Structure 1
Amino acid sequence: MLGDSLHSLRCFVKLLIDLMRRAGWDLEEAANSVHPQVNYAKKGHFRYAFLSYICLGMCQNFDKPHFGLHGSEAMCNENGTIENNNNSYLRQLIEHVASNPMEILSKNPKCEFSQFCEKKYEELIHPTMESSIFSGLDRKEKVLDSWKSLTVFYESFVRMASSIWLLHKLAYSFNPTVEIFQVEKGVEFSIVYMEDVLRKPSFPRKTRPRVGFTVVPGFRIGKTIIQSQVYLTDSETYSVA
């Protein structure tokens, strides 16, 4: 399920970068605003900054039972019926898997998943960014005003949100609950907790790689560690002046 989430994240980010490029954005400058002062091994690696931005944003509040959504203790499920906090996360996962996420938004606009999609979209694709991305496209490509419109962009976002939502339900179906973690910038690379997102050496062996930024958070299931994917940079970047 984590693999499915990563695939949907990468697909959405690829689409987002393409739209930003077509809208005339300076992608390197935008990447630098997300993670400043990163020494990229190759020019095209700035795309990992956008993947990090979306992935960490989607996973924010993952460690909270309802993703930190505001509201009463009783929340509705995918079928629109009311459940409380003691209901099985596994049952909610099964219900969501059996449903079409776009139909959930249409039929149950006040359910948790709909609230989650709307909250994450507003946090990650703020109005100024959205306006800039779509203002230069012709009428056939222009996105409708509603964030729920049936366009490639929004469908891709909802598929991504759905995959993260399922991952969260799966995490809370474990006992104890799966823990999530990310690595701070500048920390020396550890093979126990981290995986190089490039999966190959980017710097000379004489240097000790350090974390430029976390791309994908890691998870802890009891004593089992699923490594966090990080973008590494050379240690000279963090040398004391």
Structure 2
Amino acid sequence: MVLHYAMRSIRNFVKFLIREMESANWDIDAATKSIQNGVTFHKSNHRAFAFESFVCREIFSGFNEPTFSGVTQRRNFFFDQFKKLKSVNVTPFLKQNPSSLFGKFLKAKYLHLVHPKMEFSFSGNLNQRKLVNSGEFPETEFFKVFSEMGRRVWLLHCLAFSFDQQVSIFQVRKSSRFSEVYMESVTDEIFSFAGGEFKVAFTVVPGFKIGQTVVQSQVYLSPVTPPSKH
């Protein structure tokens, strides 16, 4: 359930991001190709999966390290963090706790994930970036959606490290054969293609392994042999 909410918050942010890009007259096709070049999308709205793959790659970077939170801590610390943040309203929390570990995590992820050129194209300035850099947090809708995504990913990390189990994260290599053991397709339409053999075009959401438990990665698939055009 924690993973479900994390993924829902990531998709909400991706939708918001694409709307902002469209409003700023971005070339969505060009932006898609800059993330996942050489991929044939079965539907135009599937391009969102490319942006989701980028956001997931950045927001989950370092997830399998205890220092994802900025410091090495013990298991009970992670569970305490989980309990502390699982029900909070993120904006007031950040206002009251700007120097918290979660606040520092959010700052690092924002500065890494949101490029200055992107921010400038959306708002015509870099005010949000300046605020975040100074240890404060904007109250814009964009940052609100971003910080909720960050909170959900933080909760997932804290919960994973609350257990006495090794935590790892994995991406599936491009062109790997589809395996139902380790992968889940983000769309069902692909399975309507004749032939039944599929390869990974790209990983959208990484997979997780906690102890012996495997959570499948979510992948965008292509048929091994593209269907012939009549």
- Report the TM-score, using the length of structure 2 for normalisation: 0.87
User: Hey, what does 1:214 align to over in structure 2?
Assistant: 203
Query: Conserved in 2, the CA contact under 8 Å of 1:104 and 1:114?
Result: no
What amino acid does structure 2 have at the position aligned with 1:93? F
Which letter does structure 2 place at the counterpart of 1:235? V
Letter in 2 for 1:114: G
SS of aligned partner of 2:149: helix
Match of 2:182 among 171, 180, 193: 193
Structure 2 unpaired stretches of 5+: none
Mapped partners of 2:223, 2:53: distance in 1? 19
Measured after TM superposition, the shift of residue 85 of structure 1 is: 4.3
Hey, what's the Cα distance between the residues in 2 that align with 1:19 and 1:114?
A: 24
Relative to 1, partners in 2 of residues 1:160 and 1:86: Cα closer, same or farther, differing over 3 Å? closer
1:124 aligns with 2:113: yes
Q: Does 1:175 align with 2:164?
A: yes
Kept after mapping to 2: 8 A contact 1:203/1:209: no
Partner of 1:29: 30
Q: Using the alignment, how far apart are the partners of 1:56 and 1:39 within structure 2?
A: 20
Q: Alignment RMSD, CA only? A: 2.2
| Gap change, CA 1:42 and 1:196, over 3 Å in 2 | same
Q: Is the 8 A contact 1:41 1:203 kept in 2?
A: no
Report the more deviating stretch, 192-201 or 218-227. Answer: 218-227
The 5 A counterparts of 1:1-241 are 1-67=2-68, 69=70, 85=74, 87-135=76-124, 146-147=131-132, 148-201=137-190, 204-206=193-195, 208-236=197-225
Counting helix residues as a fraction of each chain, which structure ranks higher?
Answer: 2
Partners of 2:206 and 2:221 lie apart in 1 by 14
Rounded Cα–Cα distance in structure 2 between residues aligned with 1:199 and 1:223: 28
How many residues are paired up? 220
Q: What is the identity percentage for the equivalent residue pairs of Structure 1 and Structure 2?
A: 37
Equivalent-residue separation in structure 2 for 1:189 and 1:17 (angstroms): 28
Distance 1:149 1:34, change over 3 A: same
What is the alpha-carbon distance in structure 2 between the residues aligned to residue 85 and residue 192 of structure 1? Answer: 31
TM-score normalised over the length of structure 1: 0.83
Note the alpha carbon deviations across 1:100-159, whole angstroms, 9 max, x for none.
3223322222221111111111111111111012239xxxxx975534211111100000
1:29: how far off?
0.7
Q: What SS does structure 1 have at the residue aligned with 2:68?
A: coil
Runs of 4+ with >4 A deviation: 84-87, 142-145
Identify unmatched segments of 5+ residues in structure 1.
Answer: 74-83, 137-141
